[in-house]
Structures are given as C-alpha cells and as structure tokens.
Amino acid sequence: MIFSEATFKYLFDKYYVPLRSYASRFIYDDAENKDVVQDVFTAFWKGSKDFANEKAVKTYLFYSVRNACLNKLRKEKPTSIDYESIDLPSVEEGIIEEDVLKRIRLALSNLTNQEREVMLRSMNGISNLEIAEDIEVSVNTIKTVKKRAYQKLREQLKGIEWVLVLFS
C-alpha cells in the first residue's frame, strides 16, 4: 500500500474518531487521548511502513494507540501497578467496536429524517414528551416513529447482537 498524502488523509479521516474512542477507554481525559492519537498518526506518517492492505494498517493503528496509551499510563502512574493483570480493552475489541459503530451509523443514516432525529434525541436521553414538544408533534406520534425506526434498525443490524453480548 503506497502512502501518498491523499492515502494518509483517507486513513486519518476514517480512523481518527474510532481510534479516539478506543484511546478513551484507557485515558479518560479528552485532550490527552487526542494527543496520543495525533502522535500515533504523526509517527505513522513519518515512518510509513509497507502494508499489504488497509486491514493491516487498521490493526497497526489500533495496536499503536493501545501501546501509546499504556506507555503514557506507565509514565504517569505508580510503577507498582501490574498493567498485565488489569482487564484492558484489547485491540480486537476496539476493531470490532469500530465496525459495529460504523454499521449503527449506516443504519441510522438509512432512516427518514424524522426517524433519525427522534432516535438520536432518544439515544441522548431525551424523553418522548420533550421530543414531542421540541418538534411540535404529539407524544403518540413520537412513539409511532420510534416503533417504526426500531423495526428498521433491528432489520438492518441483524447479526451484530452476538458481538454486543460477547463484550458486555
């Protein structure tokens, strides 16, 4: 895989958010996990290696973020902590999570505008009554829209339930 600026930009745009999400499972401070991911991309750009395909790049990036996070934690935390015995998120979990989130985003994008708006608000903890008041429809309309959206999402997301159960 040849790394031009366009290829690097494509990889950055595609994997920056999932890598930040993965890094946040190690380092809770947003600014710090952002720095870690940016440092990984900088090192990746400077030392671009020869990769067989995008899957190899993806795996490399997730492992690099994991190692960078662990190194940062080791430097900042007491050395008495045994990081090997702590249940840390694996690279495989991060990659699977990224794939699942991509499928969920795609499924949400396939909903109608009203269904997507209602579902996103609902996922953010907004009640049916508040949603109804915000978009000026009845609560029963919100319930109907949610029911229709849930049916569509269940159909589009068949097969990922086992992944969610595996890592819960």
CATH number of the domain encompassing residue 57: 1.10.1740
Q: Is residue 87 part of a domain?
A: no
68 and 116 share one domain: no
**CATH number of the domain that 150 lies in?**
1.10.10.10
Q: Specify whether the CB–CB gap between 3 and 48 falls below 8 A.
A: yes
pLDDT of residue 154: 82
pLDDT of residue 137: 93
131 and 71 share one domain: no
Instruction: Give how many domains the chain has, as a whole number.
Output: 2
Q: Specify whether the CB–CB gap between 80 and 17 falls below 8 A.
A: no
DSSP state, 82? -
27, 53, 76: which is the final residue of a domain?
Answer: 76
66 and 115 share one domain: no
* Number of C-beta neighbours around residue 28 at 10 A: 9
Q: Is residue 91 part of a domain?
A: no
The residue segments making up the domain with residue 159 are 110-166
Per-10-residue mean pLDDT for the chain, 168 residues long?
A: 78 89 86 92 82 85 90 72 56 71 83 91 87 92 92 80 43
Q: Specify whether the CB–CB gap between 108 and 116 falls below 8 A.
A: yes
pLDDT of residue 79: 52
Q: Left (φ > 0), alpha (ψ -120 to 50) or beta: where does 2 sit? A: beta
76, 91, 126: which is the final residue of a domain?
Answer: 76
b or e along 82-118 (b: 16 or more beta carbons within 10 Å of the residue's beta carbon)? eeeeeeebebebbbbbbeeeeeeeebbeebeeebbbb
User: Does the reported pTM lie above 0.75?
Assistant: no
pLDDT of residue 141: 94
Q: Specify whether the CB–CB gap between 109 and 120 falls below 8 A.
A: no
71 and 114 share one domain: no
